[in-house]
Structure 1
Amino acid sequence: MAHDQTTPSPFTSDARPDRRTLLKGIGGVTAALASAPLLAACSGGSPSGEGGDKATSLGSGLSDAVPRSAVQAMVDAYQQKSGAAVKTNVMPRNELINNISTYLQSSPEDAITWFAGYRMRYYAAKGLLAPVDDVWEKIGGNFSEGIAKASTGDDGKKYLVPNYNYPWGFYYRKSVWQSHGYQIPATFDALLALCTQMKKDGLTPIAFADKDGWPAMGTFDYLNMRTNGYQFHVDLCAHKESWDQQKVKDVFDNWKALLPHQDPAALGATWQEAARSLATKKSGMYLIGAFIGQELTDPEVAADLDFFPFPAIAVEGTDAIEAPIDGFVLSAKGGRNQAAKDMLAFFGTGAGQDAYAAKDSSNLQTAKDANTSSFSALNRKGAEAIANAKYVSQFFDRDALPAMANNVMIPALQSFLKDGVVDTRNLESQAKTLYAAQ
């Protein structure tokens, strides 16, 4: 998959960061119902009833050439297997995401490309998505406990059929670690001790970049989950927990211990530049997603890459992993069409996901029976880490209200990186205002 070297932002469902674009807040989308374009107007919605019992439809925001062809390959494989007729409506990614509320309340397709996290649970709670528990009865054995939980709404029902994801962790060059005799740290204290040694050895301990605002969220998520647990992380993102409390302050206190070991030039660097710092052996490790492989394409460097999970701090050890999940949901109308459910059941199998992966190999299939024979050793290790995780988080921008991520957290984290100070009372005040507007 070609990497276009553009600057990423994490605010879309795409697992490849170079195509991530900034989302507007859900509140702004809802407020724009009267003026936003009706996405399905040109598609005519679902063909259910037009082509018999096996007719269904798919709305996709995966409009870039490679993922578009990959989704079409899934559809083609399903049509060939089932004899069903599937009408596909591909729309620009931002058009789908920024107007999703309007779309779901107008004439949506039966199935839609979407992703796990708060934004899935939010629309499910509004009654705009249909549960897919009956689909999960067929495919549930194909997914890890962590992925199953990430596909579940607030009411305990399943709303997502996962397709692919990718893990975040500490990536490093094996040759550098072997030459210095470094050992993988199992605890936060061991991580800090390792960083101190790397500094003595002339390395920047942790490659880091936050010019674009989003990468620091990965560090916050891990520190929060390791300090307070996965459930607290999810509840804080959903504002079921206050930002102005000791538990949140503990997260930033732990980060203060890490700050001196992260690249001090982070605010002026892109994630690609930080990746190159690792590639040229100037940095000891880099907390980032598996998409780092899109930047480090030199075969020698790629073969030298390895990763380990964020070490344990206080609770749950390393049970939780940050691994954003993309997949498919059903609109409320689509939930009444058995053909749509049959299609999603196929998408939740190795056969369906292998059809996608044949066109887009930059992501990891989530189904346990998917063909992973073409995986690199690093991909295989990442897939195992996700499969063995008890909890799977979705990255802050997906687990939280978009406006909270964009308008509050980016400036707050960048300010913290600059001076080590964070105003949790202000974070809570802004969160109250934003979430109350929903």
Structure 2
Amino acid sequence: MDTRSRSSFSPSRPLPPIDRRTVLKTLGLGAVGLAGVPLLSACTGGAGPAGGSSKSLTFGSSASDDVPKRAYQAVVDAFQKKESATVTVNTVSHNDFQNKINSYLEGSPDDAFTWFAGYRMQYYAGKGLLAPIDDVWQQIGSNFSDALKKASTGPDGKMYFVPNYNYPWGFFYRKSFWSEKGYAVPTTFDELKTLAAKMKGDGIIPIGFADKDGWPAMGTFDYINMRLNGYQFHVDLCAHKESWNQPKVQAVFDTWKALLPYQDPGALGQTWQDAAQFLGQKKTGMYLLGSFVTQQFTDKTILDDIDFFPFPAIAVEGQDAIEAPIDGLLLSKKGGQNQTAKDFLQFMGTPEAQNTYYSIDSSNIATAKGADTSKFTPLNKKCADAIANAKHISQFFDRDALPAMANNVMIPALQSFIKDGTVDIKNLESQAASLYAAQ
């Protein structure tokens, strides 16, 4: 992820355990007490207009990194001015927000809050912890594609989510560094391995990697899985319509094992932000992450030097599928009774609000039709084109799968694999069978 993240259930980013895109530690249903609630309401990230207003709402945000935090504050400021409303912003660290989401929603949640599309939204909608916003979508529905509408729909067919942005995952690198070294963009997995070997021979860590927070490694798993077995297999595996204990899954890990010697050996002790800095400093050759990685490059010279390429083809479907998680806003069940909170989500679904967000955080791609693209950098345009031209768009494993499977099973399994290159797919299947049967 994605902030997803940007970003961390760990992402737009995010939103993480990454600072951006982590995975929930609670799947809950009462498994975790309300101890997390004070944490989620303790930090106020922004205040409303002085003097108060009869129109008010509280907004829970996991956009704790500097850039997205300021971007959401700009949206809040614009809404307050437009509607003469008061918005109290409660900003919590991305990972804490995601890890405490179950107790948060079952306790005293804010009216509106940042979250993700797809299964990670549908799960809580199905538990009755979210408020439907069909009336909001009657006003903003024409601003979104059918694919975005589908990703915003709950299991009951009602609308729950307002998309703000999405962002592609790919290999990011510094153009000048590659030009200096004579590196060429790989389009096949064999070319990727050859390039990585050349970088290692040049004394560079070929592939930047960071998995201290658990979720980032899921992006590598997803891409190798989709490139080997296809997009539909990814979806079915996440839904446990396919077994983990089969040759197709083992092939994903066997293929990935060929990259382990080229990944940063310090990955398990690094956050995604750490790895981004190493890329900017030319200590690593490339880095597989979402485009929110560019939030870390405050030096315009470095930012303008960043480019990316899609994960190379391996077997089926070439490079047709792309990871492009969608981040946006939801209403808690309580927030559904607050018309001003609904108005805030309606505002978020307009080009005006998304342009305001983008004016601060240009690492993401606005989802609303009519959003201003005239200020897109070449990298922004490339990201947008990659999403627009993809035949299949995945949401990222921790958003497409059952929360407990992502957090309780995949994070430790992937971290163990990164450490020693071994994985027990029979055990993965046993845990998956128990978790999905219990939901």
Which TM-score bucket, shorter chain as reference?
A: 0.7 to 0.9
Determine the structure 2 residue equivalent to 1:27. Answer: 27
Deviates more, 1:154-163 or 1:121-130: 154-163
**Cα offset, 1:245, TM superposition:** 2.0
What amino acid is aligned across from residue 422 of structure 1 in structure 2?
V
Determine the structure 1 residue equivalent to 2:10. Answer: 11
Counterpart CA distance in 1 for 2:57 and 2:164 is 17
Counterpart CA distance in 1 for 2:122 and 2:184 is 40
Contact 1:118/1:238, CA 8 A, preserved across alignment:
no
Deviates more, 1:341-350 or 1:136-145: 136-145
Deviates more, 1:394-403 or 1:249-258: 394-403
| Partner SS, residue 173 of structure 2 | strand
What amino acid is aligned across from residue 216 of structure 1 in structure 2?
A
Cα pair distance change 1:153/1:388, threshold 3 Å = farther
Cα pair distance change 1:240/1:360, threshold 3 Å = same
- After superposition, where does 1:46-61 map in structure 2 within 5 Å? 57-61=57-61
What amino acid is aligned across from residue 288 of structure 2 in structure 1?
L
Counterpart CA distance in 1 for 2:69 and 2:205 is 39
1:55-81, Cα deviation, whole Å (9 max, x unpaired): 574532347476555445434434544
Counterpart CA distance in 2 for 1:124 and 1:317 is 35
1:116 aligned onto 2:117: yes
**Cα offset, 1:291, TM superposition:** 3.3
Determine the structure 2 residue equivalent to 1:126. Answer: 127
Cα pair distance change 1:99/1:272, threshold 3 Å = closer
**Cα offset, 1:11, TM superposition:** 1.5
Counterpart CA distance in 1 for 2:190 and 2:408 is 33
Determine the structure 1 residue equivalent to 2:433. Answer: 432
- Give the alignment's TM-score, normalised by structure 1: 0.79
Cα pair distance change 1:29/1:260, threshold 3 Å = same
Counterpart CA distance in 1 for 2:148 and 2:261 is 34
**Cα offset, 1:351, TM superposition:** 0.1
Cα pair distance change 1:385/1:56, threshold 3 Å = farther
Counterpart CA distance in 2 for 1:283 and 1:35 is 40
Cα pair distance change 1:184/1:157, threshold 3 Å = farther
Determine the structure 2 residue equivalent to 1:300. Answer: 301
Relative contact order, CA 8 A, sep 6+: which one is greater? 1
What amino acid is aligned across from residue 59 of structure 1 in structure 2?
F
Deviates more, 1:195-204 or 1:231-240: 195-204
Counterpart CA distance in 2 for 1:147 and 1:92 is 27
**Cα offset, 1:422, TM superposition:** 1.2
| Partner SS, residue 129 of structure 1 | coil
Counterpart CA distance in 2 for 1:292 and 1:91 is 20
Cα pair distance change 1:98/1:298, threshold 3 Å = closer
Determine the structure 1 residue equivalent to 2:207. Answer: 206
Contact 1:347/1:353, CA 8 A, preserved across alignment:
yes
Counterpart CA distance in 2 for 1:272 and 1:96 is 18
Cα pair distance change 1:333/1:279, threshold 3 Å = closer
Cα pair distance change 1:267/1:115, threshold 3 Å = closer
What amino acid is aligned across from residue 15 of structure 1 in structure 2?
P
Counterpart CA distance in 2 for 1:10 and 1:432 is 21
- After superposition, where does 1:66-215 map in structure 2 within 5 Å? 67=68, 70-78=71-79, 80-81=81-82, 83=83, 85=85, 88=88, 90=90, 92=92, 97-98=98-99, 100-101=101-102, 104=105, 110-133=111-134, 135-144=136-145, 146-155=147-156, 157-199=158-200, 203-215=204-216
Contact 2:15/2:98, CA 8 A, preserved across alignment:
no
**Cα offset, 1:307, TM superposition:** 0.3
> How many residues are matched?
423
Contact 1:16/1:362, CA 8 A, preserved across alignment:
no
Cα pair distance change 1:25/1:118, threshold 3 Å = farther
- Give the alignment's TM-score, normalised by structure 2: 0.78
Counterpart CA distance in 2 for 1:317 and 1:155 is 34
Unaligned stretches of 5+ in structure 2?
A: 42-51
Cα pair distance change 1:273/1:359, threshold 3 Å = closer
1:318-353, Cα deviation, whole Å (9 max, x unpaired): 333223322112344655776654542321111011
**Cα offset, 1:167, TM superposition:** 2.5
**Cα offset, 1:174, TM superposition:** 1.8
Percentage of pairs with the same residue: 62
Contact 2:166/2:365, CA 8 A, preserved across alignment:
yes
Cα pair distance change 1:346/1:280, threshold 3 Å = closer
Contact 2:174/2:307, CA 8 A, preserved across alignment:
yes
1:243-268, Cα deviation, whole Å (9 max, x unpaired): 21222112112212333433445445
| Partner SS, residue 435 of structure 2 | helix
Contact 1:8/1:212, CA 8 A, preserved across alignment:
no
1:150-177, Cα deviation, whole Å (9 max, x unpaired): 3333455543111123322111222343
Cα pair distance change 1:199/1:360, threshold 3 Å = closer
Counterpart CA distance in 1 for 2:217 and 2:199 is 21
What amino acid is aligned across from residue 28 of structure 2 in structure 1?
G
| Partner SS, residue 427 of structure 2 | helix
Contact 2:60/2:91, CA 8 A, preserved across alignment:
yes
Counterpart CA distance in 2 for 1:96 and 1:184 is 37
